[in-house]
Amino acid sequence: MSKRAIKIAAIPGDGIGPEVIDAGMEVLMAIAGRDGGFDIKSERFDWSSQRYLDKGDFMPEDGLATLRGFDAILFGSAGDPRVPDHITLWGLRLKICQTLDQYANVRPSRLLPGIEGPLKGVTSKELDWVIVRENSEGEYAGVGGRVHQGLPEEVGMDVAVFTRSGVERIQRFAFELARSRPRKLLTLVTKSNAQRHGMVFWDAVFEQIKGDYPDVTTDKMLVDAMTTRMVLKPESIDTVVATNLHADVLSDLAAALSGSLGIAPTGNLRPERDAPSMFEPIHGSAFDIMGKGIANPLGTFWSGAMLLEHEGEAAAAARLMRAIERVTGEGKYLPRDLGGKASTREVTDAVLEAIQQDNA
């Protein structure tokens, strides 16, 4: 019988994207070879700001249809100083997420072995969170406008859009995720004291559905208070669900508290699996270090582990995580943003070796 092949579309994008995605694909191929139970077939797409500058679009017209032929997408980063950020974001990343309706953005944060975060005395025992971000509507729905441009009465408006189906599906996804984790604890984050329509609606939907998950303990926080709790009481948090904007901000804080932006992964999931999900490191294009060979590839490797997990290859995902943790735990080949001196190549080689040596 022929082996199952996971078809991955690799989109390196801008800045350090190509460096970390090439390393990520190398590691994923090694994992598939080591595991033996599945193959990986991948194709690399040059969809980027450079392409936009050269050809006027970030991807070809049939780009999204092409992506539908893949099981998963490994994405690098989108952002180039020569192109306004909102053009890049809406032209590539958000276009993919929104068209494929990848509505659940999942961002794990954990202090890996050997990594010291900025919080004193805090280890992976205290800091092991998953933030679930609504990824299809809310504050980033793209609804709004500008009128009277350039005049004194100029107006700029962004309207947050919350639909019952959108709110309910992301909250139910978060309940299921919380239920699958040992602590079974879910925190709803909103701002329903100040935003008295959409956020009160979020609270109400949560109240309506929580009875379906009697085994999950719940609590509620305002987003401003949540930032304080993340810093002062990290051990009181497990799974968090919040809107597009709030979770965007909270997850960058979470990434910083767990060591570095360079290590944090994320998955833009299409839980129904009728379209590919997209996995990417949380960091941006980091043009300041582009081409120097020093980008931290661990966020991409961890994203690759999330990809494998989503594709049902839990054992391979666990092996990859063990390899990453072995490298961080040993501390010999840490990249610069984690206080070491290792290059992207050296970190990658160390993880490749740890994969080969893993005997579990």
Residues that bind ligand ATP (CB under 6 A): 16, 77, 79, 261-262, 283-289, 295-296, 299, 335, 337
Q: What is the CA radius of gyration of the chain?
A: 20
Measured from each CB, the residue nearest to ligand ATP is 284
The least CB distance from residue 67 to ligand ATP, in Å, is 21
**Phi first, then psi: what are they for 48, rounded to 5°?**
-165, 175
The least CB distance from residue 307 to ligand ATP, in Å, is 17
Q: What is the DSSP letter of 12?
A: E
The least CB distance from residue 337 to ligand ATP, in Å, is 4
The least CB distance from residue 239 to ligand ATP, in Å, is 24
| Cα–Cα distance, 132 to 75 (Å, whole number) | 19
Q: Which is nearer to ligand ATP, 70 or 140 (CB)?
A: 140
The least CB distance from residue 169 to ligand ATP, in Å, is 28
Q: What is the DSSP string of 159-195?
A: EEE--HHHHHHHHHHHHHHHHHSTT-EEEEEE-TTTS
Q: Which is nearer to ligand ATP, 280 or 337 (CB)?
A: 337
The least CB distance from residue 246 to ligand ATP, in Å, is 18
Q: Which is nearer to ligand ATP, 44 or 336 (CB)?
A: 336
Q: Which is nearer to ligand ATP, 283 or 310 (CB)?
A: 283
Tokens matching residue 85:
């950020």
Using an 8 Å Cβ cutoff, are 43 and 276 in contact?
no
Cβ atoms within 10 Å of 180's Cβ, excluding its own: 10
Q: Which is nearer to ligand ATP, 136 or 285 (CB)?
A: 285
The least CB distance from residue 166 to ligand ATP, in Å, is 25
Q: Which is nearer to ligand ATP, 77 or 192 (CB)?
A: 77
Burial level of 228, CB count in 10 A (0-12/13-18/19+)?
Answer: exposed
Q: Which is nearer to ligand ATP, 283 or 322 (CB)?
A: 283
Alpha-carbon distances, residue 104 vs 6, 242, 340 (angstroms): 21, 11, 34
Q: Which is nearer to ligand ATP, 196 or 332 (CB)?
A: 332
Alpha-carbon distances, residue 123 vs 113, 114, 235, 295, 338 (angstroms): 8, 9, 10, 24, 15
Q: Which is nearer to ligand ATP, 85 or 154 (CB)?
A: 85
Q: How far apart are the first and last CA of the chain?
A: 26
The least CB distance from residue 85 to ligand ATP, in Å, is 6
Residue listed under structure tokens 């379906």: 212
The least CB distance from residue 320 to ligand ATP, in Å, is 17
| Cα–Cα distance, 173 to 168 (Å, whole number) | 8
Nearest C-alpha neighbor of 131 from the set 25, 247, 34: 247
Tokens matching residue 131:
């933030």
Using an 8 Å Cβ cutoff, are 59 and 50 in contact?
no
CA angle 25, 260, 30 (to 5 degrees): 20
